[in-house]
Structure 1
Amino acid sequence: MNINNQFDSLSDMAVFARVVDAGSFSGAARQLSLTPSAVSRQIARLEGVLRVQLLVRSTRKLSLTEAGSAAYLRCQDMLAAAREVWALSDTHTATPRGLVRVSMPKAFGRVVVHPLMPSFLQQYPEVDVQLVITDRTVDLFEEAIDLAIRVTQTPPPGLAGRPLMRIRHVVCASPGYLADHGTPTHPRDLSQHSCIYLGENELDCHWRFCRDGEELTVKVSGRYVANHSEVRLEGALQSLGIASLPEFTARASLASGELVSVLDDWEHATHYAGMAWLLYPPNRFLAAKLRVWIDHVVAGLASGECEKPHESGKVHLRNA
C-alpha cells in the first residue's frame, strides 16, 4: 500500500473505531453527523484497502472478526496519538484556559471536591469547571469527559491515573440513639437495631464485616432507607438509627461528638470502599488546564481541606 492510500484511510479507520464503540452504523452516523450509508461506504472502503473483513453484519448486531479486533485496537492507539497532538497547543500554553469536565460519585463530589473549587476558580480565571456528579460509570471517550474519579479496588486498564485517597465506611449513630437502644459490640448485634442503609438493591441491607481474616455478613433492617449519604447522615444525627456512611461524610460529626462510631475493631466492607482514583486517557502530555486542576485537588487534599491522599505519584494502569 502506498503512502497516499495510507493517509486516505486514516479517516476510515477513525469511523471504523466509532462504529465499534457505538455498536451500530446508525449510532456512529448520529455521533458523526453522517448518514448510515456514508458510514457503511467508509467501512467497505477500508475493508477493500486492507483486503480483510472487519465486521460481521447481521440484522440484530455487529460483531468483530479476528482481523477486526486487531484493527480496532490499533485504531484506538491511532486516535489516542491524535488526541496527544491536539492537546499540544494547550500543553504548551503558559496560561491554563478552557473547560475541564470531571466525572465523580455524588458523595465524593459534594463533600470532597466541591469545597476545593471556589479557590481553584479564583486562582485560574480562564479555566471553567463542569462537575458531572453521577454514581454511574461514565465512558471518558464517548462522553467527552476529561477526568474521572472512581472508587474502586481494581482501577480499569487502558487509562492513566493516580490514587487520591483511601475511602472507608464507618458505622455510627448519635449518642442519644445509643443511650436509648444500646451500643452494638458485635456485628450480629445490628440485627436488633434500626439501621439506615442505601437501599438501591437487595444486597444493600446485607452489611459485610472483616476482622483478622474473619468475614461475616449481617442482614440489617430499619424504618429509614436513603440512597444519598448526606440524607443518611442527617438521619443518624436525628437518632433515626445506626447508619453506614463514607467516613469523609461523617468526619465532622464524629469529631464534634454529634455521632459516635461503633464496631471500630471491624472493617465495614462495601462496594463504595477502596481507593479513589483520578483517571484520564493515557496521553503523554496533559493539557495545562487539566494539570493545574489535578495539582489543585491533590494539594487541597494534602493540606487537610478534605481527606489526605493515600499516596502520590502517577501510575499507568496496564491491561491485565
Structure 2
Amino acid sequence: MTPSKLIALLPDLASFISVINEGSFTAASKKLGVTPSALSKLITRLEKALSVKLIERTTRKLIITQTGKKVYDQAVIMLNAAEQAVEVSTSDHLAPSGALTVAAPEAFLNSVLAPLVIPFLDAYPEIQLKLRVIDGEIDLFKHGIDVAFKLTDKPDENLVLKEIGKTNLVLCASPEYLANHGLPQHPTELVGHDCLYLAETPKDNIWDFLKDDQFHTVAVTGRYAVNHSQMRLKAVKDGLGIGIFHDFVIQQALQANEVMPVLEDWTIKSNYHGAIAMQFAQTKYMPARLRVFIDYAISRLSNRLVGDE
C-alpha cells in the first residue's frame, strides 16, 4: 500500500476505534457527529481497502473478528502516536495540559490516591484528571488508560514499571467481636466465625494462608459481603466479623485500636498483594501531563506507603 493510500485510511481507522470502544454504530456516530449509516459505510469502505472483515454485524450487537482485533490494536497504537506527536509539538513552550486517565483498584484509589487529587490539580490547573476504578486486570490500550496502579507480584512485562512500595494483606476484627467470639489461633478456626469478603467472584470466600511450610485453604462464611473496602472496614469496626484488608487501608484503624490483627503470624496469599506497581506504555516522547503525574506520584507516595522498604 502506497503512503498516500495509507494516509487516506487514517481517519477511517480512527473511526473504527470509536465503533469498537463505544460498542455500536449508534453510540459511535453520536460521539463522532455523523449518522450511523454513514459510519457503517465508512467501516465497509475500510474493510474493502484492507480486504478483510473487521466486524460481524448482527441485529443485536457487533462482534469484532480476530483480524479486526489485530487491526484495532495497531490502530490504537497509531492513534496514541499521533497524540504524542501533537504533545511533542507543544510541550516545550506550554504548561502540562490535556486529559490524563489514571486507573487503580478501589481500595488503593480511596485510601492512597484520593488525598493527592486536589493538590495535583492545584499544581497543574491545565490538566483534566480522570480517575477510574478497575479491580482486576487492566488493559491500558483497551480502556484508554495513561497510567495504572496495580497491586500484584506479577506486573505486565510489556509496560514500563515504577515500583513505589509493597503491600500485604491483614486479617482483623474489632476488639468487641473478638471479646465475644474469641481470637482464632489457626486458619481452620475461621470456619466458626463470621467473615466479610468481597463477593465479586465465586471464590472470594476461599482464603489461603501460609506459614513456613504449612499451607491452609479455608472456605469462610459470613452474613455480609461487599466489594468496597471502606464499607467492609466500617462493618468490621462495628463488630460484624473478621475481614481481610490491604495494610494501607487498615493502618489508621490499627493504630487507633479500632481493630485488632488476627492470625498475624500467617501470610495471606492473594493475586492482589506484593508490589504497588505504577505502569504505563513505553514511549519515546512522553506527554508532559503524564511525566509530571508520574513524578508527582513517586515523590508523594514512595516514602509513605506501608510496607515500603
Shorter-chain TM-score: which interval?
A: 0.7 to 0.9
Aligned pair 1:10/2:24, yes or no? no
Please state how far the C-alpha of 1:65 moved relative to its aligned partner. Answer: 6.2
CA distance in 2 between counterparts of 1:74 and 1:96 reads 27
Deviates more, 1:151-160 or 1:174-183: 151-160
In structure 2, distance between residues paired with 1:285 and 1:137: 26
* Contact 1:99/1:128 (8 A) holds in 2: yes
Structure 2: distance between partners of 1:230 and 1:10: 45
Q: Considering only aligned residues, what root-mean-square deviation do their CA atoms show, in Å? A: 3.3
- Percent identical among aligned pairs is 35
Q: State the match for 1:77 in structure 2.
A: 77
Change in 2 beyond 3 A, CA 1:208/1:93: farther
The superposition leaves residues 132-190 of structure 1 with CA deviations (integer Å, 9 ceiling, x where unpaired) of: 34547676556654333233444457644433333321111233433443221210011
Structure 1 183/155 Cα, relative in aligned 2: closer, same or farther at 3 Å? Answer: same
Equivalent in the alignment of 1:217: 217
Cα shift readout 1:197-234 (whole Å, capped 9, x = no counterpart): 33444433222222335432212233444432223323
> Structure 2 counterpart of 1:232, which letter?
R
Look up the equivalent residue of 1:264 and give its one-letter code. E
Secondary structure (helix, strand or coil) at the match of 1:40 reads helix
- The offset of 1:250, in angstroms, is 0.9
Equivalent-residue separation in structure 2 for 1:71 and 1:198 (angstroms): 37
Alignment of 1:60-139 (within 5 A): 61-64=62-65, 66=67, 68=68, 71-93=71-93, 95-133=95-133, 135=135
Scaled by the length of structure 2, what TM-score is found?
Answer: 0.81
* Mapped partners of 1:62, 1:202: distance in 2: 28
TM-score w.r.t. length of structure 1: 0.78
Equivalent in the alignment of 2:187: 187
**Paired residues of 2:99 and 2:129 also in contact (CA < 8 A):** yes
SS in 1 for 2:5: helix
Using the TM superposition, give the Cα deviation of residue 263 of structure 1 relative to its aligned residue in structure 2, in angstroms.
Answer: 1.6
Is residue 97–residue 126 contact of structure 2 (8 Å, CA) maintained in 1?
Answer: yes
My pick for the range that moved more, 152-161 or 239-248, is 152-161
Residues 93/167 of structure 1: CA separation in 2 closer, same or farther (3 Å cut): farther
1:172 match: secondary structure: strand
Task: Name the CA distance, whole Å, in 2 between partners of 1:6 and 1:99.
Answer: 28
- List gaps (5 residues or longer) in structure 1: 311-320
Structure 2: segments with no counterpart, 5+ residues: none
Q: Is 162-171 or 151-160 further displaced after alignment?
A: 151-160
Equivalent position SS for 2:203: helix
Amino acid at match of 2:239: S
Shift of 1:81: 1.8
Quote how far apart the aligned CAs of 1:251 are.
Answer: 0.9
**More off after superposition, 98-107 vs 109-118:** 98-107
| 3-state SS of 2:293 partner | helix
Q: Which residue of 1 aligns with 2:38?
A: 38
> Do residues 286 (structure 1) and 286 (structure 2) align?
yes
Aligned to 1:167: 167
Q: For this pair of structures, how many residues does the alignment match? A: 307
